[in-house]
Structure 1
């Protein structure tokens, strides 16, 4: 992972130290597509540190974007939080975000994990990796390309093409390899599927335990959660599941993001920027790791014990802003190869 600058902890400490002055009657209106109970303490601690009250509206990403667009200049939204680069791109394309200049954000977040126009910023990340049945697969895939190898025919479980994580993964392959190679890969994966795409990432892991799949693709935080807590259908036999961080001799493992941006018509813009800067503080980054098993974007901070159990890995440092431009091509490829 990209190393943060050595001055970053000092910058953040100066901004979010214990002796911050309070703000009277200040507020922040947050539109959030993150639905994790563990984020509650993240918000309450920001309020304790700054005196800024958070008013939160939760919903699915697309409905929040539609709402912001309909509200226009009268929108009360200050902040949009959502997951995956594809949704961040949709927000930017919809014209509901604005650019933000912040030395703290620039120092904290690697350039490839933020928008080229500073309209969105990654705040946590998940690696999309390969899992396999240790009893059934002697030689698991080592790369994303291997998932299309005929040797694994009838063995692969993966989510549908409507899933944003898969869309961004394929868009990254387009960015790296071009449309023709990406199309061949997607066709190969379809040919190797053990079943029609169904369910979420946890369901792919359950497919390994049930014996329906020998190989699955999932974000790391779903598996880390099964290591740390009791996830039905996974945790009782979690020792049966092995994992591979793909492409460690090449581009590295694909990562996707939770990200945030300041709303175009933010009525409390100064508070919004302060909140963005808080999200890269050590306290906030540890909440993402400890509460939801996500990797911090600030490489000076480590993941929780479950994430560390997965081991160190090389992450793909492709510019996710560039990957976002390849999403329409990825959707075209999915349709072309019949990835349901």
Structure 2
């Protein structure tokens, strides 16, 4: 067994402490119907969001499913610590970074090519051991009465014209993943400078993306850094005429246009690889992909499934060209955010 490096375990564990965590659950008894072993899933996706989908998965794979919910980074650290002793067969991650960390430690099995071919290469591991299931784009929300047009780059947000007019959520995992992406794309020095300049420009902090969107919608700030689906969920709930804020998808491969993914990987050593692979194929099925589109307003990543009404086509977005597996260096991002006084 190849043991995980102490540095990587420490990094993931520290990241888990600083990220907002959800309560973990799941029984240690994994016996299923008629004494058969249940499929054990470690899910970094929140229980209220995916529990109905995992009930459908249970029927699709034909065996009981036991789920342990928690933060993706925390669960990845647990998997690395457990090694070959883990009972988990499938890791359902909120973001690509946690999957990338497991891939680097060779804890994931390569998926069948037929499975990999369902998703574009940009949204799966370059070595084929994890795959994206749904995507979310970083965007700028803006108040149309306070600005007629949002800037085309996050680098413009440090200009004096936006002083005290920007909202963001530095403790939120999606913002931290975006900063990690900027580090990968532009380097640590440039990213640290941008963060310092953003803070010096009076950007206002909020607890989460939803609070940022509410601040933009009310006119408290002119611009906000969020994920796209918060706006679409708000419109679906309240109606377009009740939502003042608008969205701007950034062009030109800007780091602020990062498309991150929720994804899955089959874990080594569980003895349930075949069932876990069936589970991955179910999560890429039209049934599951439509669930992501309809319920979460995320982008379905399997070919042939359309996003929710009103979303621009995924292939029309000008996201930066980045290996999503490299978003695993979260600890370095957190250290940088602490250094500049954002967390």
Q: For the superposition of Structure 1 and Structure 2, which TM-score range results when normalised by the shorter chain?
A: 0.7 to 0.9
Identify the match of residue 138 of structure 1 among 125, 148, 161: 148
In the alignment, structure 1 residue 55 sits paired with structure 2 residue 66: yes
- In structure 2, the partner of 1:229 is 237
> Could you say what secondary structure the match of 1:130 adopts?
strand
Q: Deviations over 1:293-337 (max 9, x none)?
A: 110122432111253599953333322123445x45534432343
Do the aligned partners of residues 339 and 215 (structure 1) sit closer, same or farther apart at CA in structure 2, a change above 3 Å counting?
A: same
Aligned residue pairs, count: 310
Deviates more, 1:61-70 or 1:140-149: 61-70
- Does the CA-based 8 Å contact 1:33-1:61 persist in structure 2? yes
Whole-Å separation in 1 of the counterparts to 2:81 and 2:313: 45
1:82-101 correspondence to structure 2 within 5 Å: 82-92=93-103, 95=105, 97-101=107-111
Identify the match of residue 78 of structure 1 among 61, 78, 89: 89
Do the aligned partners of residues 251 and 339 (structure 1) sit closer, same or farther apart at CA in structure 2, a change above 3 Å counting?
A: closer
1:13-52 correspondence to structure 2 within 5 Å: 25=36, 27-52=38-63
Do the aligned partners of residues 249 and 115 (structure 1) sit closer, same or farther apart at CA in structure 2, a change above 3 Å counting?
A: closer
- In structure 2, the partner of 1:244 is 248
> Unaligned stretches of 5+ in structure 1?
1-22
CA RMSD of aligned residues (A): 3.0
- In structure 2, the partner of 1:185 is 194
- In structure 2, the partner of 1:337 is 340
Do the aligned partners of residues 164 and 37 (structure 1) sit closer, same or farther apart at CA in structure 2, a change above 3 Å counting?
A: closer
Output the TM-score relative to the length of structure 1. 0.80
Whole-Å separation in 2 of the counterparts to 1:27 and 1:328: 33
- In structure 2, the partner of 1:280 is 284
- In structure 1, the partner of 2:213 is 205
**Structure possessing the higher relative contact order (Cα contacts under 8 Å, 6 or more residues apart):** 1
- Does the CA-based 8 Å contact 2:139-2:256 persist in structure 1? no
- In structure 2, the partner of 1:216 is 224
> Unaligned stretches of 5+ in structure 2?
1-32
- In structure 2, the partner of 1:320 is 324
Whole-Å separation in 2 of the counterparts to 1:114 and 1:61: 17
Do the aligned partners of residues 87 and 72 (structure 1) sit closer, same or farther apart at CA in structure 2, a change above 3 Å counting?
A: closer
